[in-house]
Amino acid sequence: MSSFDDQGFPIVHLSSDGWSTEDEATATCFCGAVQLVLPLKKPGLLNRHVCHCIDCRKIGSAFYQSNITVDDTYLKHVRGEDNLSAFSEEKTIRANATMSNYFCKTCGTLMYRRGARFPGLTILRTGTVDDLSLADTKLRPQVEQFIERRAAWSKPIDSTAQVVGMHQPSDIEGIP
């Protein structure tokens, strides 16, 4: 198990109790009030993707977002579920497809999104995962979606599927 006590484990926020194992890892907001445990393997971890859609760009205050899609039955709230504030919107990239965004009430970190089109799934922000080294290994993106919206200066990520619009499960078959 990796933890903040290990040399090289990044301390990137005000909490110091993040950890990772072969099977699970923590994701914590910047102030530490909200912490989740997410799976690092199937069947709980469904995909890892970079999204260039307008919604992700706006809600994340960046030109793209790195995301992890998880089956809700494998996502655990360790603390702070009552410290999440939800902002829901119907005017999304898909008409009449409500997306709910869950932010820490204290520090404002966007922890995850849930969509009416994706019942039982949660889209976590990869940047909330405490063990940053996982972004280069188990949480490395499999696919980039909405590439038609990608900023001109942003280049495709090597060894990832490139998809116009939203990706489908078949787009990532065979990509570890």
**Is residue 14 one of the residues assigned to a domain?**
no
**Is residue 76 one of the residues assigned to a domain?**
yes
Contacts of 154 (CB under 8 A, 6+ apart): 52, 63, 64
162, 151 in Cβ contact below 8 A? no
**Is residue 90 one of the residues assigned to a domain?**
yes
The domain in which residue 46 lies consists of 2-9+20-165
Asked whether the predicted pLDDT for residue 158 surpasses 90, the reply is yes
pLDDT digits (tens, 9 = 90+) for 52-62: 988 888 888 89
Name the band, by pLDDT with cuts 50, 70 and 90, for residue 42: very high
For residues 89-115, give the mean pLDDT: 86
Of the segments 6-10, 18-22, 60-64, 97-101, which one has the largest average pLDDT value?
A: 18-22
**Is residue 78 one of the residues assigned to a domain?**
yes
Which stretches of the chain are DSSP H helices?
54-59
**Is residue 153 one of the residues assigned to a domain?**
yes
**Is residue 94 one of the residues assigned to a domain?**
yes
Residue 40 structure tokens: 């690092």
The β-bridge relationship of strands 2-3 and 19-20 is antiparallel
Name the band, by pLDDT with cuts 50, 70 and 90, for residue 129: very high
Tell me the pTM: 0.88
52, 58 in Cβ contact below 8 A? no
Number of domains in the chain: 1
78, 37 in Cβ contact below 8 A? yes
Residue 71 structure tokens: 């089956």
Q: The domain spanning residue 142 has which CATH number?
A: 3.90.1590.10
**Is residue 127 one of the residues assigned to a domain?**
yes
Tell me the C-alpha distance between 35 and 18, whole Å.
8
Contacts of 163 (CB under 8 A, 6+ apart): 143, 144, 145, 146, 147, 171
pLDDT digits (tens, 9 = 90+) for 63-99: 999 999 999 999 999 999 999 999 998 766 666 678 8
60, 74 in Cβ contact below 8 A? no
**Is residue 170 one of the residues assigned to a domain?**
no
Residue 166 structure tokens: 């939203």
Q: Tokens 């949660």 correspond to what residue?
A: 122
